[in-house]
Structure 1
Amino acid sequence: MSTPRFLTLPPGVTTQQIETPAGTFAVLSAEPVSGVPERWPALLVPGFTGSKEDFISVLQTLAQAGRRVVAVDIRGQYETPGPDDPSAYTCAALGADIDLVAHAVGGGEPVHLLGHSFGGLITREAALDGTAKIASYTLMSSGPAGIIGPREKTGRIMLTELPEYGVEYLWANRLEPEALRAGVPDEIVSFLRKRLLAHSPAGLLAMAREVLDAPDRVDELAESGLAILVLYGEHDDGWPPLLQAEMADRLDAECVVVPGAAHSPAVEAPETTAAALTRFWNAAESEILHHS
């Protein structure tokens, strides 16, 4: 379990709410120092048990390049409410939400879209349905289909234990001990508990099934014509690094391996990650504008 290094919002980063036809979404929004964005905005989508706070360490740096950068809590996650209906948490349903949030963030302009881990499976739906204006697409520590390896085991334990014992049991017996073993500071552990208990239990259960059973849609994505970046840590314990490299090959996408990072490069190597994203986003914009 990776965590933000700090939870105090940097200068220029504010908590906001975005209104859409599908409801209200909690976000962190970072603005350029000048207050006037000169480049197209970016939308960052977190993973399964994560939240917008997973991007705190990169938001200010990314915005300094001259664009608004927004990190969102998806439906049923932390500060964005969600229903008890499992159908609201399929990749397709969550991807439709991202279409609406992207439209609100872009205000008619294209948006650089990034999905981290399970967020990659969600944003893939938005990238494929053609509804949102997408300037570029980044898969961060995500994969071609359902997750495998150690995190697959954790997901299957959740499917078994969550319906029977509830979220509090899952935290106390699985996730908190894992965080303590990893040496996570007490204040961050407290935040992680608060965040998990704020998640929709129905959403957690439905999204666990989605992250485990997602189909391979790489070939479809390869035909989208989007500028795509595959970015992951060299020690990723989610989808294996080799599998992500193969996915980048199948997509004919740029591939960036972040040294020293594991499953959350934005937390574990924020400066390296932000530099790679800014370079990719700027190049994608230049390419689009050159051909317009």
Structure 2
Amino acid sequence: MERSPAIDKNWEALKRLLAMLVGMAELGDGVTLPRHLHRAILKLLRPAEAAARRLIIAAARGLVVTLPPFRPRKPKPKPVEPVLRSLGIAVTMSHADHARAEAAKRAAAKRAARPRVLNLSLLDPLKNPFRIRRRYVPARTVPRIMSLDFSAPYRPLPAPPSPDDPVNASRLALRLEALGRALDDLPGQAQRFARWKVRHDAAIARQREARAAVAQGKQGGQNRAAVRFRRISPLRRGRPPGGRLSRYDPHATHPRNIREIDEILAHAHALAVYALESPDTS
């Protein structure tokens, strides 16, 4: 896979930014970070993840991936033993069932003992259009009237959060590690996205066929594949996650607030949009 100079330039800038973020995260004790430092890292990590995701999409342009033919999943029969036990009916397990249950327990214990690994998501998180944002009222602004009984003890209001409060940084460390692995293996991540794109296009084609079959009346009932919702693009509409307006954007009113990561994200977004709209079929 040949990478363009634009991808290499943004990749090197993201590597420098990641080294800075890792240095900021190492200022803590390894488990927690001060609140102000945790927020400062998140403000740069979100657009960095979005930019890396777009570089992966741009690097996957022109990749040809062949996947095995689709095989529908067979529905697994649900065991009746849990239902009987919930009704208070005693169930005797056979030797095979007992051995199967013990093997499942050992497999679960082995999975729990593995170190937790997080992979960089190839898809932008979508916004819920039906979400109603509730107005947040800090705890320090609640009414001081606790009771109409004057003999009730007075309860002081909780102190406002301090910038130096310790915040758990385990999830943040996993995200930094995932971003580092994605940038170190950009060709492998591009292959991963190409496989997702082929599976996604095949699923969309099967969904259209199922809808056409339902519309023509070839199937008696409504097919689940015909009513399942799938996202159209790996990128969400609007501004990328965590990004600000670029200084080259005509709507930018405060160019002084534009950071370096915003420029990287703007360039990476343009590369990803071009790769999705103009795929290389040569």
The normalised TM-score by structure 2 is 0.21
Higher relative contact order (CA 8 A, sep 6+): 2
Structure exhibiting the larger radius of gyration computed from Cα positions: 2
